[in-house]
Amino acid sequence: MAVRGIHHVDFAVVDVERSIAFYTGLLGPLGAEVTDRFPTYRGTEEVAYLTIGDQAIGFRKADAGSHRYYEVGIEHFALLVDTREELEEAYQRCLELDARVQFPPQEDRDIPGYWAFFVFDPDGFRLEILWWPGEHGVTS
């Protein structure tokens, strides 16, 4: 028996609807959509799930505070796209959303053929959109 993959990851955010608007604006054209909303186990808030391929990102209202890049917590998470064109189009949507882009699309200096850009979501979580053709599961 083996672990089959990551099913979902939940983020505690300041404003659930703001996060959904950002992620659907960025990833909706790539097939991401809100598929489920459930009351949480605490019964004090709802969690909304954005399905991306076979995985999901959940957004739930944080009790308080804010995420700080490079403090304890997630440093970044990465989403793989099928083509370089999809990478560039996602970057353009970030600009249209007035998102805080950390690095524009570029080839990685250490991994030939690995193209990515980095952007911060409204709560400061860093997201990488990447295209890595060939043996890594992408053919275009």
Residues 45 and 101 in one domain: no
Residues 19 and 58 in one domain: yes
**Could you list the residue range(s) of the whole structural domain that residue 4 is in?**
1-63
CATH for 51 = 3.10.180.10
Residues 47 and 106 in one domain: no
**What pLDDT is recorded for position 136?**
66
In a domain, 132, yes or no: yes
Give the pLDDT confidence of 56-92 residue by residue, as tens digits: 999 999 999 888 888 888 999 999 999 999 999 999 9
In a domain, 3, yes or no: yes
DSSP of the chain, one letter per residue?
-------EEEEEES-HHHHHHHHHHHHGGGT-EEEEEEE-TTSSSEEEEEEETTEEEEEEE-SS----TTSSS---EEEE-S-HHHHHHHHHHHHHTT-EEEEEEEE-SSSTT-EEEEEE-TTS-EEEEEE--BTTTB--
Give the pLDDT confidence of 28-38 residue by residue, as tens digits: 999 999 999 99
